[in-house]
Amino acid sequence: MNTGSIYQSRGITQEEEQLYHHLLERVQTEPPHLLIERFRLLFIEGTGYPDRELQKTVDRLIQSPVAAQNFRFVLNRCCHILINRWQSRPHQYQEIAELVALFESRPSRQITGDFSRSRLIKQQRQLTQDFQQTEQYLTLKRLSSVLQPEPTLAESQPFGTLIRRYPYLYEHCLVTEGTPHIQKASIRQLQTERQKQYELDLSKYVTYQVRRASSDRSIHPVQNPTLLDERSLSSALQQFTGKIRGNDTCKDIAQRFSAHCQQVKSYAHFKAELYHYLTDTVNPSYGTRHFNKQLGQFLGNTYSESETQPLSDFLMVRTCSQLLNFLVIDSIQQPQHFVFIDLLSNLGATATTQLLLQIVLLCRRVKPYLEKRFSVLFHHYEGYSRDRVQWLVAAMENLHLALSINFSDLNLCFVNQLVR
């Protein structure tokens, strides 16, 4: 393995390089249980490591004046050196969970030695304990959860345990500052594999439902690949693939409006047309109460200084991304999402998802931005029990379904014929 591939743009010290090389050598020759024990001695205990020279190397890292800021990155990279090796071998996924769980264990060895050495061990143990409060450790825990077999779907379990079901969250929830490039590539590969499996499972399920409806008793049951009940799933499939207005599907409407936008005279004219494009998707009994007014005010205030300019790609992308902020959630720092909850409460998860889908189909470049909005929601609620956020589970499932049908490499156009 090329050690350069695990280094980020942040400069590394000579001590870091020695540490990384040491672990890279060991991970290629030693079994996981020995490596986990090495890791425990080196970082959790801070004493007893068999290679004293390497222990001194870690001691120098601890003594660095920037250790409080940078040691989390060192721990993160050390974890990924082992994880990168084991992640390519599914039978070793359990070792990844054991490695990550080490940080929640307490040191078992008593601190011995002279005063300076004892103080250094205490300092290291504190830095390791502080690692549990970082975004890097939270990301490692999510990765561990993604790689484990799907847990029992108990309502009392944390919502965060469902992350493995939503590949569209992976790049946003499993990557953080300090994640090595090679690990990012592994996550993208895992995302692709999980997404393809979901699409395959979905197509098998729909085929099974159609054959069952035709009274074909020779078929074996196929499990619903979503957490939606059969009725909700059938309704969502029809909404995202079928004709929703006359003979037009979601894609047809978006393509026609996109072509129309090429003729608009100004950005102000585009926003006026966009308002009608979106409100036509919303149930009038809900829209006329207050949503349409909210949407109109939001669009009116969006880049108002540019209203006389012609519509550009920049204005299109920025307007659609700001719309997703407004409709879903802004950021982790500003996690208000009253509009989204109101939409779900009044329209339901499928109709709300269709509204979001119409934006992404109009401007496909904001699809990752929509996924990012949902990753912010996931981050905000991942510690909640599932029974407290059933509305979010329904939204996550509907979004996965809508994006899979409309942006999939696998041709799912046959679903439209099957669900009619």
Q: Give the structural domain span for 301.
A: 227-418
The 8 Å CB, 24+ separation contacts for 229-232 are 232/349, 232/350, 232/394
Report the alpha-carbon angle 395-132-336, nearest 5.
35
3 pLDDT tier (thresholds 50, 70, 90): very low
Q: Is 0.85 surpassed by the pTM of this model?
A: yes
pLDDT at 179 over 90: no
Burial class (CB in 10 A: 0-12, 13-18, 19+), 31: exposed
Is 2 a residue whose pLDDT tops 50? no
* Shared domain check, 122 and 255: no
Read off the tokens for 212. Answer: 């069952």
Question: Would 263 be classed as within a structural domain?
Answer: yes
Lowest-pLDDT range of 7-21, 54-68, 386-400 = 7-21
Q: Which residue, 126, 149, 172, sits at the end of a domain?
A: 149
Same domain for 370 and 249: yes
| Shared domain check, 144 and 12 | yes
CB 81 within 8 A of CB 6: yes
The number of domains in the chain is: 2
Q: Work out the pLDDT band at 410, boundaries 50, 70, 90.
A: low
User: H-helix or E-strand containing 232?
Assistant: helix 230-241
Domain boundary among 149, 164, 196: 149
Query: Residue 412: its pLDDT value, please?
Result: 52
Q: What confidence category does residue 414 fall into, taking pLDDT thresholds of 50, 70 and 90?
A: low
